[in-house]
Amino acid sequence: MFKKLLVAYDDSAGGKRAFSAAIELAKKCGGELLLLSVIEGLAQSAGDSMAGVDATLEHAQRHFQLAQQGAIARAEQEGIKVTQHIVPGEVVETVVRLAAQENADTIVLGGFGHSTILRRVAGGKGSLISVHAHCTVIIVR
């Protein structure tokens, strides 16, 4: 256990706490991290055009790449392998699906984050992830 940890990450306070906890678990257990940022609500935020969807997706990908850079550097300084994932979709489905595809043995979520994603994850979505995931789910507060 704690050999392959998927961390739902959006650079919020809750996401940073979850990432810190995942680093500690990975260090103690010789694990690696899957760093996942989910791009939610593309259709709603982009309007009616495909150009709007493409522009919104591109903007969100750049945002999450920048947000993940510092986290990845921190983990690598600790000697932890990190694989980066930035995926459009719905949070619960995306987290559960990627954890299964990558054979993660643990999912680490931030609780009480200030962003939309982590607020949703810390509430009902965190519970849904724990019900549907094939592995252990940790919500860090």
Which tens digits make up the pLDDT trace of 52-63? 778 889 999 999
Domain that holds residue 31: 4-140
Q: Output the CA–CA distances (angstroms, integers) from residue 111 to 45, 46, 76, in the order listed.
A: 25, 28, 24
Nearest to 40 by CA among 60, 16, 11, 54: 60
In this structure, what CATH number is given to the domain that contains residue 55? 3.40.50.620
The total domain count for the chain is 1
Residues sharing a CB contact under 8 Å with residue 3, sequence separation 6 or more, in sequence order: 29, 30, 31, 32, 105
Alpha helix segments (H runs only) across 31-102:
42-46, 50-77, 91-101
What confidence tens digit (pLDDT) does each residue in 57-106 have? Answer: 999 999 999 999 999 999 999 999 999 999 999 999 999 999 999 999 99
Cα–Cα nearest to 7, from 38, 29, 41, 46: 38
Q: Tell me how far apart the alpha carbons of residues 132 and 141 are, in angstroms, rounded to a whole number.
A: 21
